[in-house]
Amino acid sequence: MIEHRDIFIGGKWVPSSGESTLPVINPATEETIANVPRGTSADVDGAARAASVAFERWSRTPVAERIALFDRLARVTERRSAEITRTIVSELGYPAAWVAKSQTAGAVEELDIIAECLREISWAEQVGNTQVRRVPSGVVGGITAWNAPLRSIISKAGAAMAAGCTVVLKGAEVAPLTSFMFAEMAAEAGIPAGVFNLVCGTGPEVGEAIASHPLIDMVSLTGSVRAGRRVMELASATVKRVHLELGGKSANLIFADADFERAVIDGIDDAMRNTGQVCGGLTRMLVPRERLAEAEALASRKVTTYVLGDPLDPATTLGPVVTAAARERVRGYIRSGMEEGLRMLAGGPDAPEGLSRGYFVKPTVFSGNNQCRIAREEIFGPVIVIVPFDGEDDAIRIANDSLYGLAAGVWCGEAERARAIAARLRVGRVRINGAPLNKRGTHGGFKLSGVGREWGRFGIEEFLEYQSVIG
DSSP 198-209: E----IIIIIHH
Do 248 and 409 form a contact (C-beta atoms < 8 A)?
no
Q: What angle do CA 340, 276, 383 make, to 5 degrees?
A: 20
Which residues have a Cβ under 8 Å from the Cβ of 303 and sit 6 or more positions away? 268, 272, 345, 346, 347, 363, 364, 365
Of 110, 173, 205, 245, which one is the catalytic site residue? 245
Cα 319 to Cα 46, 146, 206, 290: the distances in Å are 38, 15, 29, 34
SS3 content of the chain, % helix, strand, coil (to 5): 40, 25, 35
- Beta strands (DSSP E) in 4-149 are 6-9, 12-15, 21-26, 31-37, 124-127, 130-136, 139-143
Tens digit of each residue's pLDDT (9 = 90 or more) over 426-437: 999 999 999 999
What pTM did the predictor assign? 0.95
Do 201 and 38 form a contact (C-beta atoms < 8 A)?
yes
**Regarding the domain delimited by 2-246+449-470, which CATH topology (the fold level of the hierarchy) does it fall under?**
Aldehyde Dehydrogenase; Chain A, domain 1 (3.40.605)
Tell me the residue type at 273. R
Closest by alpha carbon to 268, among 409, 152, 395? 409
Tens digit of each residue's pLDDT (9 = 90 or more) over 367-391: 999 999 999 999 999 999 999 999 9
Q: How far apart are the first and last CA of the chain?
A: 62
Q: For residue 287, what pLDDT is reported?
A: 98
Q: What is the CATH number of domain 251-438?
A: 3.40.309.10
DSSP helix/strand/coil, 387: strand
CA–CA dist 113, 457 (Å, integer): 8
Ordered DSSP codes for 228-240? HHHHHHHHGGGT-
State the CB neighbour count (10 A cutoff) for residue 109: 15
* Domain ranges in the chain with CATH number 3.40.309.10: 251-438
CA–CA dist 267, 412 (Å, integer): 13
Q: For residue 341, what pLDDT is reported?
A: 95
Of 279, 412, 454, 462, which one is the catalytic site residue? 279
261 is catalytic: no
Across 360-393, b (16+ Cβ under 10 Å) vs e yields bbbbbbbbbebebebbeebbbbbbbbbbbbeebe
279 is catalytic: yes
Residue 14: half-sphere exposure toward Cβ, Cα within 13 Å: 18
pLDDT tens by residue, the chain, 471 residues: 899 999 999 999 999 999 999 999 999 999 999 999 999 999 999 999 999 999 999 999 999 999 999 999 999 999 999 999 999 999 999 999 999 999 999 999 999 999 999 999 999 999 999 999 999 999 999 999 999 999 999 999 999 999 999 999 999 999 999 999 999 999 999 999 999 999 999 999 999 999 999 999 999 999 999 999 999 999 999 999 999 999 999 999 999 999 999 999 999 999 999 999 999 999 999 999 999 999 999 999 999 999 999 999 999 999 999 999 999 999 999 999 999 999 999 999 999 999 989 999 999 999 999 999 999 999 999 999 999 999 999 999 999 999 999 999 999 999 999 999 999 999 999 999 999 999 999 999 999 999 999 999 999 999 999 999 999
* Domain ranges in the chain with CATH number 3.40.605.10: 2-246+449-470
